Structure formats: C-alpha cells, structure tokens
Amino acid sequence: MTVKETLVQLAEKMNNHPDGIKGVNTVYQFDLSGDEEGVYQVVLRDDQVQLYDEVKEDPNCSLQLSDKSLLKLIAGNLNPTVAYMSGKLKIKGELGLALKLQSILKKYE
C-alpha cells in the first residue's frame, strides 16, 4: 500500500472512531524522502481529521523521515524513540506532540 493510501485509510479510521483524537487540535506535517517523496499534512481539529498532500497550514510538529519509515510507524513496527535517536526520524516543533502522535497511532493500529 502507498503512503497516501495508508494515510487516507488511517484518516477514515480516525474520523469513524474519533475517541482516540478527542480534544487534539494540532497540525502534523510529514516531510518524506524515498520513492514516495513529498509532504503530507494531517490536521486534527474538532475530533476530525483532514489530510492534505501539500502544505495548507503552519505545522505544530514536523516529522522528517523516509516513506518506508512512515509506513512502519503507522503500522506500529517502528519505535519512534529509537528512530529519533538513530537519526531515521527528525522532529521540528513541539516534541511533546510527536509523543502524542505515537499514542494516537497505537489506538488505530
């Protein structure tokens, strides 16, 4: 499955079952390298998710990683702390939001 398909599927899960994102109002940006290089923004607001494959808003938290690492992260097969420490993941913005993203993703594996 491609990154876009995976993110669309994740957004649908979150919108259908918003319990895991209640009260979260933030903009995550994924700056991807690799075969599916590009920028994706995930906007969490009012217990709903909007997905963009371009920059729409200033992100609160940007994550730089490879397309393959993002797919592993969403699937729960990549430990973000280890990825960050080993340089596979770079974070700009609020580090606390990156940790929050990890707990949100766990709810939707």
pLDDT digits (tens, 9 = 90+) for 21-68: 999 999 999 999 999 999 999 999 999 999 999 999 999 999 999 999
How many structural domains are present in the chain? 1
Q: Domain of 74: which CATH number? A: 3.30.1050.10
What the block records as the tokens of 58 is 């200033």
* Whether pTM exceeds 0.85: yes
What the block records as the tokens of 38 is 């590009």
Note down the domain range covering 37. 3-107
Residue 89 binned pLDDT confidence (cut-offs 50, 70, 90) = very high
Bridge partners (DSSP) of residue 65 are: 32
Residue 4 binned pLDDT confidence (cut-offs 50, 70, 90) = very high
Residue 109 binned pLDDT confidence (cut-offs 50, 70, 90) = confident
Give yes or no for residue 80 having a pLDDT over 90: no
Q: Name every residue whose Cβ is closer than 8 Å to that of residue 88 and which is 6 or more positions away in sequence.
A: 65, 66, 69, 78
Contact 67, 35 (CB under 8 A): yes
